[in-house]
Structure 1
Amino acid sequence: MDTQVKPERVVQIALPFMGDEEWMAVREPIEAGWLTQGPKVAAFEKDFANRHGVPHALATTSCTTALHLALAAMDIGPGDEVIVPSFTWVATANAALYCGATPVLCDVDPITFNIDPASAASKVTDRTKAVMAVHLFGRCADMDALKTVIPPHVKIVEDAACAAGATYKGIAAGAIGDAAAFSFHPRKSITCGEGGMLTAKDDVLAARAQVLRNHGASVSEEQRHHGPQPWLLPAFDELGYNYRMTDVQAAIGLVQLKKLDDFISERDRRARWYADALSDLDWLHTPALPNDGRHAWQAYVTIVDPSRAPIPRNELMARLHARGVATRPGTHAIHMLGYYASRFALSPDDFPGARDCERNTMAIPLHNRMTDEDYAYVVRMIREAAYA
């Protein structure tokens, strides 16, 4: 195909779904003049906590800062180890480094893309303080299996960046481990531009995170301004961070959260359609449906079987791009990234599951702004590109 020819249509890998409700929602904080963390953030936190069945939710600037905040609130620091699956976005491992701890990588299950409990168990030492259970692409990790092989004193932090609205055996993501972090990046099911959420069941952990999120202040800005002496600054008894979400973001998040279940239901229907429409391609493996919960379908990630595919994955992705269909690798293998490979003397074969996932996964468009025609076009272009 001539790459200069304009494609019939363009289908993006992801697009946020917003409308007049979100547009109108931001007017209130703008008109009120309360733009930083305030009443909208508090309302968003309350609704998110209720939706995910947890007593505490703290809005943050990103999922990355929520992960860092969770580890910091657990007093994880230098000399401690945090087990991280290698097939995940680099932020999962970076959060451990931000605390001065050591990220210890383990392998993943190439079918679910999630942490391999046996590999994680093999990495436990007397310095292990936490395990990051990533719910990649919206499918919850096998948390029961993980809890079986991980010592009870080791904290389990859910990296639920992709998993708002997902469930595992009837329990919502974010309410399974000791703490969890969610993302509201535009590629996620719901978004407020940037932003994250830390959830926790433990009162002490949540209280500590609350202080650390706001520079280490003893009370929040909203509490101080609405208190009896707003002119006095709070106490600062420990080093904290500025990880506060704005009320403008939270106003959007409140509207988006109300749409979450409808978004996921539509994505699930489309995912099942993809599985059927692509079932005759023996070289393209579609993601397996979980039998232990609800997949949130943040992304639809296939595997291009290198032993059967008519062309290499990267060539297929290039041809699809020329035809207007955006694709991406599922994510990267952390142990193959330059910084981690160099710092920790890692090689690609150290974690073969993660290595193969990086090399062979291909996410195809799945989002709530796609039409029937878009989905049909994606499938038709996959066939055309593969056999052109």
Structure 2
Amino acid sequence: MTEDKRIVHIALPSTGEPEWEAVRDPIMSGWLTQGPKVAAFEKRFSEMHQVQNALATTSCTTALHLALAAYGIGPGDEVIVPAFTWVATANVVLYCGATPVFADVDPITFNIDVNDALSRVTDKTKAIIPVHLFGLCADIDALRAGLPTHVKIIEDAACAAGAQYKKQYAGGLGDAAAFSFHPRKSITTGEGGMLTSNDTTFSDIAEKLRNHGAEISEEQRHAGPRPYLLPDFNMLGFNYRMTDLQGAVGLVQLDKLHGFIEQRAEWAKWYRSELKDVSWLRCPEEPENGKHAWQAFVTYVDPDKAPFSRNEIMDKLQTKGIATRPGTHAVHMLDYYANKYNLSVNDFPGAKLCDENTMAIPLHNRMELEDFKYVVRAIHEIG
């Protein structure tokens, strides 16, 4: 008997009636841009992640850019970034006129190789952006132990809402952190991001930069005695404000975050159990010293054992309706960066291996048991 073909998406946002109802308040009140819902979202996010300050932004990319700008990083400065990450991690460095310096990654964890990163520190290094890739926190303590004290650690926590490292939440591990609420993340506001820090002086600067460089926010101006007067502008800023529509959705999603992560963790454990006999496929593990956020379940196809290449395996799964993706890309292998900095594909061997062999398989909170079983059967059938 032939099993009916299913469609299993790589990711789907888990949204519904509560999110739909949440946007009613800002729509009816008329306050659609950054306002009370965003403020409440920021407060709850900071409390949940045990950080003093949280600023909602239009994306994780703009949150990262805001962090670099608030630290005054610019031309002549260097920022170390992992070679295996989404391109935005490197792009934001160029937005500031600074130079991204790539470091290799560990092919087991997919996170930045600490020793390689530390070997690339120079007197021009002003910051490092370790990525908590796919929800697994980078080894921040090892980085901090080897870095000069003036070098800022800016966590790219795009995938890591709710993740923990040694019982401490992502977002407060370094000097600042940026999160994403893109629909492929565990919780979503459509687009959107969050910048966190325990440094109030830094956050005050970032808050002004987020709002065109205005000395006071729109909320402060409208609540003041003379709302008709425009604020002063003492710095060049950006428009990186989140809308209250997004903030309202974010509040609902944030209430579900821990439940989402626990559910994903259980399915990740199930995947590992059901796929342990597939000799050519390595599954990600739960860390011993923290909590994985499981934004994605990214496997590694062993090129020496697999019956087909990673891309051929992805093609076979696609024909069965199962969506897969490479984990992400090796930025040094992208044409723009390879040409701009005269980089070779072999300059970062760990990143190259990850670029060529990682494979994310479906994991999200709208999957059902039969979806997971279908994925596992299809992988077993490959050989």
CA distance in 1, matches of 2:131, 2:256: 24
Q: Cα RMSD (Å) of the superposition?
A: 1.0
The answer for the alignment partner of 1:236 in structure 2 is 233
1:297 aligned residue: 294
My pick for the range that moved more, 367-376 or 146-155, is 146-155
Tell me the equivalent position of 2:370. Answer: 373
What residue is the counterpart of 2:269 in the other structure?
272
Q: Which residue of structure 1 lines up, in the alignment, with residue 220 of structure 2?
A: 223
- Say which of 198, 203, 206 aligns to 2:200: 203
- Matched residue, 1:256: 253
- Residue 72 of structure 1: aligned partner: 69
* 1:311 aligns to 2:308 (yes or no): yes
Structure 1: gaps spanning 5 or more residues: none
Paired amino acid for 1:145: A
In structure 1, how many angstroms separate the alpha carbons of the residues matched to 2:274 and 2:59?
A: 36
Structure 2 distance, partners of 1:299, 1:235, is 44
2: distance between equivalents of 1:253 and 1:203?
A: 23
AA paired with 2:126?
K
How far the C-alpha of 1:290 sits from its partner, in A, is 0.6
Q: Which residue of 2 aligns with 1:323?
A: 320
Tell me the secondary structure at the aligned position of residue 134 of structure 1: coil
- Does the alignment pair 1:113 with 2:120? no
Structure 1's consecutive aligned runs of 4 or more residues displaced over 4 angstroms after TM superposition are none
Counterpart check, 1:173 vs 2:170: yes
Q: What is the percent sequence identity of the aligned residues?
A: 66
| SS of alignment partner, residue 303 of structure 1 | strand
Which one of the candidate residues 157, 160, 167 is aligned to 2:157?
160
Contact 1:70-1:179 within 8 A present in 2 as well: yes
Q: What amino acid is aligned across from residue 289 of structure 1 in structure 2?
A: E
Deviation at 1:289, TM superposition (A): 1.9
Contact map agreement 1:211 1:217 (CA 8 A) in 2: yes
State whether residues 40 and 251 of structure 1, in contact with CA within 8 Å, keep that contact through their aligned partners in structure 2. Answer: yes
Distance (Å, rounded) in 2 between the aligned partners of 1:339 and 1:77: 20
Alignment counterpart, residue 126 of structure 1, candidates 123, 127, 141: 123
| CA distance, structure 1, for counterparts of residue 225 and residue 168 of structure 2 | 41
**Which residue of the partner structure matches residue 357 of structure 2?**
360
Quote the Cα distance in structure 2 between the aligned partners of 1:116 and 1:312: 26
Q: d(CA) in 2 for partners of 1:160 and 1:377?
A: 31
Q: Structure 2 CA distance, aligned partners of 1:370 and 1:222?
A: 40
Distance 1:144 1:291 in 2: 15
What secondary structure is seen at the aligned counterpart in 1 of 2:129? strand
* 1:61 lines up with 2:55 in the alignment: no
State the aligned residue count.
382
Aligned residue for 1:276, secondary structure, equals helix
For residues 179 and 296 of structure 2, the distance between their equivalents in structure 1, rounded to whole angstroms, comes to 15
Deviation at 1:9, TM superposition (A): 0.6
Q: Distance in 2 between matches of 1:124 and 1:313?
A: 34
Cα deviation 1:137-184 (Å, max 9, x = unaligned): 000001111111111110000000000000000110001000000000
Q: Letter of the 2:338 partner, please give it.
A: A
Aligned partner of 1:150: which letter? Answer: L
CA shift for structure 1 position 7: 6.0
- CA–CA separation in structure 1 for the residues paired with 2:281 and 2:70: 43
The amino acid that maps onto 1:61 is T
> Which of the numbers 79, 82, 86 marks the counterpart of 2:83?
86
Q: Does 1:337 align with 2:334?
A: yes
Deviations 1:317-374 (A, max 9, x none): 0010010000000000000000000000101100000000000000000000000000
Deviation at 1:316, TM superposition (A): 0.6
1:8-34 alpha-carbon deviations (Å, 9 max, x no partner): 110000000011110100000000000
- TM-score between both structures, scaled by the size of structure 2: 0.99
Write the distance in 1 (CA, Å) between the matches of 2:297 and 2:4: 22
Matched-pair contact (CA < 8 Å) for 1:87–1:331:
yes
Q: Which runs of 5+ in 2 are unaligned?
A: none
Residues 7, 324 of structure 1: 8 Å contact kept: no
Distance 1:289 1:191 in 2: 23
* TM-aligned CA deviation for residue 6 of structure 1: 11
Superposed CA offset, 1:268-316 (max 9, x none): 0000000000000110000122111000000000000000001111011
Paired residue for 1:12?
9
1:111–1:288 Cα contact (<8 Å) kept: no
Q: Does structure 2 retain, via aligned residues, the 8 Å contact 1:7–1:323?
A: no
1:226 partner letter? A
Report the 3-state secondary structure (helix = DSSP H, G, I; strand = E; otherwise coil) of the residue aligned with 2:111.
coil
Following the alignment from structure 1 to structure 2, what is the Cα–Cα distance between the partners of residues 351 and 226? 53
Indicate if the aligned counterparts of 1:335 and 1:341 stay in contact, CA closer than 8 A.
yes
Letter in 2 for 1:196: G
